[in-house]
Amino acid sequence: MSRGAHESVEAHLEHVLARIRPLAALEVPLADAGGLVLGASIETRLPIPAFDNSAMDGYAVRRADVADAAPDRQVTLSVVAEVAAGSPLDPAIGPGEAVRIMTGAAVPSDADAIVPFEDTDSGTRSVRVTAAPKPAAHIRRAGEDVAAGRQILEAGVVLTAARLAAAAAAGLARLAVRPSPRVAVIVTGSELVGPGAPLRRGQIPESNSVLLAGLVTEAGGTVVRVEHAPDDADAFAAALAGAAAEHPDLVVLSGGVSVGDHDIVRTALEPLGSVDFHSVAMQPGSPQAFGTLPGGIIVFGLPGNPVAVAVSFEAFVRPALQLLRGAARTQRRRLAAVATAGWRSPVARRQYMPITIVDGAHGASGGGLRVRPAAEGGSGSHLVGGLAASDGFAIVEAGIDEVRAGDEVQIVLVDG
Amino acid sequence: MSRGAHESVEAHLEHVLARIRPLAALEVPLADAGGLVLGASIETRLPIPAFDNSAMDGYAVRRADVADAAPDRQVTLSVVAEVAAGSPLDPAIGPGEAVRIMTGAAVPSDADAIVPFEDTDSGTRSVRVTAAPKPAAHIRRAGEDVAAGRQILEAGVVLTAARLAAAAAAGLARLAVRPSPRVAVIVTGSELVGPGAPLRRGQIPESNSVLLAGLVTEAGGTVVRVEHAPDDADAFAAALAGAAAEHPDLVVLSGGVSVGDHDIVRTALEPLGSVDFHSVAMQPGSPQAFGTLPGGIIVFGLPGNPVAVAVSFEAFVRPALQLLRGAARTQRRRLAAVATAGWRSPVARRQYMPITIVDGAHGASGGGLRVRPAAEGGSGSHLVGGLAASDGFAIVEAGIDEVRAGDEVQIVLVDG
């Protein structure tokens, strides 16, 4: 079935996402949660910091004792104890007394300021103080960063190192996360041969399995199977059965979704009843198949051209994987850039043009991003050579027939 | 040893990078190269496409036969053969003859244009052509994308899915890559206890090991050991020995690099002779240790505060890991953004302020990026709570004492 010619990218994406539910969350130790998506918002178990602690190495004092200290009015205090970081001690401090204290150690209850080493003679039995501290000087108050019971991470964020560290600091040992989606890849085409194999007339190296497996991994999925099938109904059915045996959440196919005689993918999937074939108003990547296989496995059928595969994945499969793994953000952040060279775009379609960032090796130019088409010779968004040089895609909406040098364009970066 | 107070971030980074050499490259199968850095530039083994092939499903023809075809001047040709994608056939085409051809199939030597199905009656024994093709219509010429022997990937690029696919399409089966650096993490501090353990007065949850292990992984390194050591010379020596036993390329420590009595890291490392302690003009993260351990293992000693750890890692350890793994780009791309709220910055230091992107959930606003400090209450770049909400850092150079709402700032994004 086809749901109308030249559906927009947004309409097709909405159709896809409406049919996908996030995978069920499960609890894992913090150390296993890196890179996964948080399944439920979390609150601090502890205030951060958990207790009043010293921000400096120095002396915990009663501020009244040293309120008048100055280089020429030094005040000598008796050092009655020492608290290192991690120490459970809470030594009493009487008038004229001080406690030597290390950064991070709990501030004794009797102290109301810290005098850092540099304002003292660093004495061990007694200490001469040469400057008066301000009230509560160098004391980090319990909860001054985050109070206990405050939400610190929202469901749907990717658990970066920094976010995991914040959760650990907040006293959490386990987190609810959604698992990485299990993905099977099937690449079709009788003309395709494995890497390095000798080529006869009519044969080309197979590159879509490497592409799709890599894109799945980059999107946070887990590749559980890669199958290659020639344009043969039995071989394709066997590949599909092999993929399904891995209990994938999603199957992604390349090739066989257009109208040719040999498009056995279409022939095999259509009878399964819930796979639709769409013509989407995009360049490249117009023919798209999407649906579910028996058992509820989500299936995407992408075109066979590698650039169309990369673009179709970016537009539809990657958002689907983000939704499956529970990410609140299903699409990449779009950035504004200036085109340093122009190109043509089909007015009736949204164009995804592979682009290269134009700047120094360290990218430290600041200012605005500048981009040019990744494939030499300007346009040619179907060209594989452009993939090699591509830092991402410019997205040129339908209605625009040309990008001119100097125009601002919307881009997404895919190289991290 | 200390090489002068308040060295600039750039000077310290230069000092670090000057002492690091990329790891030796090795050859691996294409499928194992994902995410690694290319060790040597590569050229295409094959032209892309490898042979003239059809861009459409249709008929390969002698154009002269159908030069006058039109809906009201249909031309009938005899279909003498069929070539599917992958077929080795090169059937002869005489005057008045055509060959049925599928997308991707090699164009017969006698043909000089493809007539797509939609300009025919799709006949199998004979075909009626209803429109004249342009010269070479729908023929992709061998090498029109990339000629054989052309460089397609430069040494130093990260092998994304798209780049691997381009290498596969160009006929390569193995690539020279540099390995992922082996990294050991040692976290020091007697106040630190493992996740979920009950806390006594003075103790806090240990979060730096999760942070450092995650940052190493995100930077393309491989964590081979994580050690925790209390502030005790013997325990630290044991942790260091345990780390060294894994033959790491790099050891990263947190805590113990400032001037306190209990900074046993400093005490332990200084006698090893080639570890220097620096004061870098940055906020947070000023005290930094860097050098080599016996055996040439690179060692970084970072401050103990988690935000200072994250910032020090970003400023120095991540670039070092990029250089070790051979990446041409050692630093992240800086982007321009507009601050929606102001904050203060220390005029004598470069500030790294954790920031949150201010925009819709899908980030599809386009235009410019807008950012605000990640920690509530404005400044406070030492605050752990800010890490949870952080999408990256604003980098405010020394010489600037305040960022005002509406100012343009330089940012790096760390959330992918």
pLDDT digits (tens, 9 = 90+) for B263-299: 677 788 878 778 888 899 999 988 899 999 988 999 9
Considering only alpha carbons, which residue of chain A is nearest residue B109? Answer: A201
Mean pLDDT of chain A: 91
Considering only alpha carbons, which residue of chain B is nearest residue A123? Answer: B261
Mean pLDDT of B403-415: 92
pLDDT on residue A103: 87
CA–CA gap between residue A386 and residue A356 (Å, rounded): 9
When pLDDT is cut at 50, 70 and 90, the band that residue A277 belongs to is confident
Judged by CB atoms closer than 8 Å, whether chains meet at A86 and B203 is answered as yes
What are A85's two structure tokens? 């970081």
Mean pLDDT of A60-78: 97
Q: In a mutagenesis test of the B interface, which of A54, A82, A109, A160 is the best target, namely the one with the most B β-carbons within 10 Å?
A: A160
| Residue A341, SS3 per DSSP | coil
Q: Give percent of chain B above pLDDT 70.
A: 93
Judged by CB atoms closer than 8 Å, whether chains meet at A214 and B160 is answered as yes
pLDDT on residue B375: 82
In the block, residue with structure tokens 């948080």:
A38
Interface subset of A 300-329, CB within 8 angstroms of B: 304, 306, 310, 328-329
Judged by CB atoms closer than 8 Å, whether chains meet at B174 and A196 is answered as yes
pLDDT on residue A90: 98
When pLDDT is cut at 50, 70 and 90, the band that residue A363 belongs to is very low
Query: A122-137, pLDDT tens digit by residue?
Result: 999 999 999 999 999 9
Distance from CA of B70 to the nearest CA of A (A): 23
Interface subset of A 7-46, CB within 8 angstroms of B: 29-31, 34-35, 46
pLDDT at B126 > cutoff 80: yes
Domains (ranges, CATH) in chain A? Answer: 9-20+181-324 (3.40.980.10), 26-47+148-178 (3.90.105.10), 53-140 (2.170.190.11), 335-413 (2.40.340.10)
Under 8 Å CB pairs connecting chains A and B tally to 344
Judged by CB atoms closer than 8 Å, whether chains meet at B364 and A331 is answered as yes
pLDDT at B3 > cutoff 50: no
Tell me which range, B1-10, B89-98, B337-346, is most confidently predicted by mean pLDDT. Answer: B89-98
Considering only alpha carbons, which residue of chain A is nearest residue B108? Answer: A202
Judged by CB atoms closer than 8 Å, whether chains meet at B388 and A166 is answered as yes
Q: What is the ipTM of this complex?
A: 0.92
B361 touching A (Cβ < 8 Å): yes
Mean pLDDT is lowest, of A144-153, B106-115, B182-191, for A144-153
Query: B383-402, pLDDT tens digit by residue?
Result: 777 888 889 999 999 999 99
Query: B365-382, pLDDT tens digit by residue?
Result: 445 789 999 987 555 556
